[in-house]
Structure 1
């Protein structure tokens, strides 16, 4: 994945015509507004397939994202060369829920994954960002979405040993019979890594999964 732009505001020299993406990376709202008024394309891409909205989402530049989406809402689900949408990139270590909410309010596809079918919810579980996961689930994220290795978000939450995340996914009816990589059910995955805090939560007698191989 391309390195996300810094969220620190940086000065931008308006005496020369910068790219729209450069203005967004700098978090310079005035420059973004000026460039849009001059007719710069919001769907322009760099050599990684990133648009200005991808930059705004990854860096958490809320005002820039609002301007770009107000100019052209159809850019909300454009994908980079790696298949990442702006919503996917907005889920990162420095996530701003405001950016995620803006994208979701513009009907961004909450279940559109990258080239490995890794969804924003998978990413939130990987980062153990319960707040992001909660927002995604409230917005219709598929709690049982499978990546190319058949891993579901619950497998990732168990791998990260997050009791809070597992509890959240269970409240949204995560399927405990699904099998991920190596054919592991969530219970098997928890047992393999010694995640004793959730084993009882995952061993539902009515599912008869405790003796599955």
Structure 2
């Protein structure tokens, strides 16, 4: 079996939760951080699918929690977006950066808030996630949660914010989503920026899902 085939087999085993095969491939010399053409590692795939035993084995064998896909997502981004609370806990315990920013400036907390994954949001906040970090378009986890009607996530973010307040968006944007007068912008412009950010991410996610099979 060539190295490329071995790497692909290893990644499939991680994705499918086949622990014996994962161990065999590693023993046979496949690097634990081997990636697909899109930069997806075994840790990314196991995180997406919620493969606890695979994650534990990969971490034990030295898998990097900082490895990114070509689009800039870490395994923690993937786990948060997928709502995989146990995967998030394991990655954080392995010193994954909870505030790392991926595509468009999205943090794991932003992705969890966007996906309405309440328990993941709670886990990330307890692990030191900063809900004040905004995307490149200036929107915070609270902004996207409120915009999408995720009331439980909104309540959780407000409950855990310093002094009971947290910004909806970057400086110059008021808590009703409007830019302040001195910035000369409107609610429509803010909403348009958020919608554009969501469409961009949705497009990236769609490509990732189409290509995640090795």
Please, what TM-score do these two structures have when normalized by structure 1?
Answer: 0.74
Among candidates 168, 175, 186, match of residue 175 of structure 2: 186
Q: Does 1:83 align with 2:72?
A: yes
CA drift of 1:177 comes to 5.0
Partner SS for 1:149: coil
Q: 1:49: how far off?
A: 0.8
TM superposition shift of 1:92: 3.1
Residue 162 of structure 1 and its aligned partner are, at CA, apart by: 2.2
Secondary structure of 1:116's counterpart equals: helix
Deviations 1:12-39 (A, max 9, x none): xxxx956310111221000001111222
Verify the 8 A CA contact 1:154 1:186 in the aligned structure 2: no
Contact 2:110 2:140 in 1 (8 A): yes
Q: CA RMSD in A?
A: 2.2
| Contact in 2 for aligned 1:158/1:186 (Cα 8 Å) | no
Q: How many matched pairs?
A: 173
Distance 1:92 1:188 in 2: 24
Higher helix share: 2
Once the two structures are superposed, the pairs formed by residues 32-181 of structure 1 within 5 Å of their partners are 32-73=22-63, 75-93=64-82, 95-173=83-161, 175-176=165-166, 179-180=169-170
SS of match in other structure, 1:144 = coil
TM-score by length of 2: 0.74
CA spacing shift, 1:69–1:128, aligned 2, 3 Å:
same
**Cα distance in structure 2, aligned partners of 1:158 and 1:168:** 11
Measured after TM superposition, the shift of residue 68 of structure 1 is 0.6
Task: Name stretches of at least 5 consecutive residues in structure 2 with no aligned partner.
Answer: 179-186, 189-214
User: Please, which runs of 5 or more residues in structure 1 have no aligned partner?
Assistant: 1-15, 194-213
CA distance, structure 2, for counterparts of residue 163 and residue 23 of structure 1 = 38
Runs of 4+ in 1 over 6 A off after TM superposition: none
Cα deviation code 1:131-153 (max 9, x no counterpart): 11000000000011111001011
